Structure 1
Amino acid sequence: MITLLKKTITLTCHYAESRVLNGLGPTSEDVRARVLRAAKELDYHPNWLARSLRARRTNTVGLVLPDIENPFFTSLVKGAERAAGERGWNLILCNSDEDVEREETLVRALAERMIDGLLLCPAAGPHAFLARYEGHLPIVAVNRSIPGAAFPTVAANNERGANEAASHLLAKGLRPLALLLGTPNLSTTEARLAGCRRAAEAFALAPEEMLLKVGYGRTREGYKAAAECLDERPRPHAIFAFNNLMAEAALLAIRDRGLRCPEDVALIGFDDFRSAAAMTPPLTVVEQDPAGMGEKAVGVLGDVIASGEAAVLDTVLPARLLLRASCGCSASAG
C-alpha cells in the first residue's frame, strides 16, 4: 500500500518525492508545495524504518534514569528532550527505578531498537554488562559516573557544592552535623561525602561530631534517617541532606519532633526544586542546573555520534550554595 502511494505521489507531481519528503536535496518551492499537497491528500507518511536502514541512523536516542518521579530528573528530561528536538532526534525515556538489573534489561532493549546513542544515569551496582557496547553504541553518563567504564560523564561539581554547604554550617558553629547520605557507592554520594569530610577537616570537627545516616535518596528512607539523627544525644544542630527528597523529609521529621528550623536544627539540601523557596522556612540548597545538564549531555552525545569516538574529558558543571532561611540566613540571602 505504501509503495502504491509513493508511486501515486510521484506520478501526481512528476518528480522524485523522496527529495522533498526526506529532505535529500534542493527543490523549488512549487515542487515542494505540490509534493506536500499530494502527500496530505493521500495521507502518506515516509517509511521510517526503510529510511533509517538507508541512512544507517534512526535519529533516536535513549535516556535511562533511576527515578523519574524525582523533580531533579524531571527537569533533566526537559533539557535533554529540548536539545534532542533541536537536533531532530526522538528521545526514548526509561526508568530503572534504581535497579541495576532492570537497567541492564532496558539498555539491551534500547540497543536492539538500533538507537543512535544512549544517555545513562546509572543505578548503584556493577556495570560490567556495558562493556559489550563499547565501540558499538555511543554512551554518555549523566549526573552520575560509571565506575570502571570508558564513557564520558556530564555532572555537577558535587564535591565542591557539598563542601560549600558543610563549610557554611560549620562556620556558623552548628555542630554536631548530621549528613543524610544517598545510596552508597554512587559517584554523587561519594563526591558529596568527600566534600563534607574536607570541610570537617578544615574546621577541626571531631569524628563524634559528624553523624552519618543513609537515606538512599528517597523520601521514606530519608525521613527515617533524619528521625534517627534527631533522636541522638547530643542532638545535631544541623542536617545536610544529600538530595531534594531527603531534605523535604528531614524538614518534616524536624516538625514532627516538635523542633524548630532553623532555631533548633538548621537544614540544607542538595538540589533546588520549585517549591523549595515557598517552604516554611524557605530551604537553603546546593543548586544545580538539571535542565542544562540534560542539554549538555545531548550535545556531548551528539559529538560522540558524529566523531565515532568517545570524548576524552568529562564535563563538570557548577553547583552553588543558594542561601535561604532554613540554615539561619535571611530568606532573601544569596
Structure 2
Amino acid sequence: MTDTVTLALTAGEPAGIGPELCLQLAAEERSAGLVVIASKPLLEERNRDLGLGIVLEDWAPGSVAARAPGTLSVLHVEGLATTAAGQLNTANSAYVLDTLSVATRGCLNGLFDGMVTAPVHKGVINNAGIEFSGHTEFLQAMCGVERVVMMLATDELRVALVTTHLPLSEVPAAITPARLTQVARILNQDLKTYFGLEQPRILVAGLNPHAGEGGHLGREELDVIEPTLEALRQEGMTLTGPLPADTLFTPHWLDNADAALAMYHDQGLPVLKFQGFGRAVNITLGLPIVRTSVDHGTALDLAGTGRADMGSLRQAVQVGERMALCQKRMGGQKLASGNKASNV
C-alpha cells in the first residue's frame, strides 16, 4: 500500500480565479501529487502576469506528479479560445467540460486517486447552448450512477443534503422513502469508505418547523421520515431524528455526531457556511471516485489580481487527499453497485 496519492485538479472557468489559485497553491509544500488539467498556455500567461515564477512541467500517464514547492504538473487540454481574466467567453465552454471529462476518465481508469475542481461558470456554459446544471450532475452522468449526495464539510462539521437545487415548493414531494433511503445509505457508506468511521452517527433534520410538532405543522415526519429512518436503523445505521433543524445544529447534538443530514439546501448549508465559509469543501458522495471542490464561485472581479483567497482550494486538496488515502486503507472499497444507473 502506498501512502501517497495523485489528484487531478481542474482549473475551472479560464476567465475566473481558478487558474491562478492552482498556481498559487503550487508555491506551497504539499504531500499529494497534483496534476492540473488545463490549457498550459493559459497557466503560463497567468503565471507570467502575476509574477509567480511557478515551473510548469508537462505530465503524461506514468509520470510522477510534481510535489516540490514552486513546481506544477500540467496535463494540457486543447480548445481554449482567446481569453482574458474577468471576461467570459462562450467559446471556451466546450474546453471547460473537456477538462472535467479528462479528469473524470483519469480517475475511473486509475491514473488519478481523485479529483479536485476549481469553480466553473454555469451561466456561460448554458449560454453556449450546452445544457449544464453543475459539476455534480455532470460527474454523476459520466460515472453512471443513479444518485449522488452533496455534502459540505469543514474540520468541525459535515452537512449532507437529501435534496439540492430544487425550488422550495418542490421539496416536500421530492422527499420520498426511496430517495431518503438511498441518500442515507450513500452517506453512511461513504463516511465509512472515505472518512474511516466504523459506525457513523448521523443526525437527521425534520422538514417542517419543530420537526412537524407531532403532525400539527405537517405530516412528512410522521408519514415519510420517521418510518424510513426506523427501517434504516434495522439495517444497522445509527440515525437520530427527525430533529428540529433550529436546534439540531447546537453542541448538544453535534458533539456526539459525525454528520448532519438536512432535507433541503438552505436548511443546512447556511449554518455550515456561517461556521466555515472560505475553508469549507464541497464533496460529492455516491461516485466511484473521490471528488472535492471549493465552496465559492469564479469571482470574475478578482481574476488576474492575485488577491483571491486560496483557502478553500487548499482545504479541498487536503480533504481529497485524506479521502483517497482512507479509501486505499479500506482496500479500495467502492460504493455498492446498487447505485449504478439503470440506463448505463
Q: Which TM-score band (shorter chain)?
A: under 0.3
TM-score (norm 2): 0.26
Higher relative contact order (CA 8 A, sep 6+): 2
- Which structure has greater helix proportion? 1
Per the normalisation by structure 1, the TM-score is 0.27
Structure having the higher Rg: 1
